[in-house]
Amino acid sequence: MSAASAQRPVNGRRIIVGLTGGIACYKLAAVVSKLTQSGADVTVIMTEAATRFVTPLTFQALTGRPVYSDQWQHVESQDPQHISLARSADLVLIAPCSMDMLAKLAQGRTDDVVSLIVSAVDRSNQPVLLAPSMNAVMWNQPATQRNIEKLRADNFGIIEPDTGWQACRTEGVGRLPEPDQLLDAVEAALGNR
């Protein structure tokens, strides 16, 4: 680790990175790599849908840690890992955060490993950042906008999506921000603590 990395707000911090289903999952390889290189202790959690876009092995190789993709499998111990992981996190980033995950979190549903772990995070002193990523029509749905407002009120940090080319071959709002923008948001949230 370089001297510059040692000065970064992520150095020595425990960060959980959650991925949900979406083509933008590929961008998180760069985010996880940069966090790890900057001295963060990164744990990756993935919904089953996310594993269809990028494999857990990618993130295991980048972090040197097990990847959680099943709420029923105990990777490191026989303890309820969703509780111990949630308690140990300095920050949680969910990116891409799908329309479905926004709805689950707004409703308090916990039927996958990502929503289960996030449900056990104390957002009063542990930031949880959501980076929504979806088609422009999905982003503009009244249900999505209601869920975003509810999540803001519930003390989730929202990283606004970018506007640009989307996988559906159209341009519009809903694009996952670039890795450096996600890293800036993580550092800003940790720098304020």
In this predicted model, what pLDDT tens digit does every residue of 6-56 receive, in sequence order?
A: 567 899 999 999 999 999 999 999 999 999 999 999 999 999 999 999 999
- Whichever domain contains 68, its CATH number is 3.40.50.1950
Residue 168 catalytic? yes
Catalytic residue among 103, 120, 136, 168: 168
Looking at the predicted structure, is the pLDDT value of residue 94 above 70? yes
Q: What is the mean pLDDT of residues 169-192?
A: 91
- Look at residue 189 in the predicted model and tell me its pLDDT: 96
What pTM does this model have?
0.92
Which structural domain, as residue segments, surrounds residue 149? Answer: 3-191
Give the total number of structural domains in the chain. Answer: 1
Which phi-psi region, left, alpha or beta, contains residue 82 (left: φ > 0; alpha: ψ -120 to 50)? alpha
